[in-house]
Amino acid sequence: MQLSFPDVVLPLRPAETRDARAALATYPDMTTSNLCRYAKHLGNSAELLVDSVFMRLGERAFPVPEHERHDRLLVLPDDTLVRVQVKARHTLTGGDYVFNLKQRSERGATGRGPYEVQDFDILALVVLPEAAVRFTADWQSRHVIHLSEIPVLRRNPRASLDEALARLGHADAIPGGSNRLDLAA
């Protein structure tokens, strides 16, 4: 039951918010123009999914200001900071989710060019329609997540995070130690 507050009048929902609600109701089956128009909404959604995964794994991660070249700071148990960049895909390309990394532009979807090695440490690849995340420390401008990988990524997001941490030389930050990676192989 909704409590009533006699003197409180809620403001009308802005038109942009009403439009977003209607357009995003069919996600991911949207027009390309709507995907571009609501890219900020969808990007925030991907970042929140990564936050949710970090929380479920008991990790401490914090958002950084928008002008930074990464989206989150992951705080390891020894207080080392790891920069995490979040990238989302919404549609399949030839049966796979293909991530071509470019920095996004403040004024459009064309991007500002390639990232540089010092921009982030771990990449969080988010397949938003499938609610799946793969973490990687592999420095490539193109990454692919095959549809067949989705159930494993959902079931065990810790595995790809631990692999990325080990690749960065932070095996000591993996719960259960680096031996855990050997058991998973």
Residue 9 lies in a domain: no
With respect to residue 7, please indicate whether it lies within any of the assigned structural domains. no
- CATH value at residue 154: 3.40.1350.10
CA pair distance 128, 106, nearest whole angstrom: 22
State the total domains in the chain.
1
Strand 72-75 with 96-100, pairing: unpaired
In a domain, residue 52? The reply is yes
Q: Report if residue 29 sits inside a domain.
A: yes
User: What is the model's pLDDT at position 115?
Assistant: 80
Section 81-106 average pLDDT: 88
pLDDT beyond 80 at 30: yes
* In-domain check, residue 34: yes
How far apart CA 117 and CA 120 sit, in angstroms, is 7
> What pTM did the predictor assign?
0.83
> Is residue 4 a part of any domain in this protein?
no
5 within domain boundaries: no
Place of tokens 């123009």: 33
- Tens of pLDDT, residue by residue over 95-149, are 999 999 876 554 445 456 678 888 999 999 999 999 999 999 998 889 999 999 9
Domain boundaries, position 42: 15-184
CB atoms inside a 10 Å sphere around CB 93: 11
- Tens digits of residue pLDDT in 149-180: 999 999 999 999 999 999 999 999 999 865 55
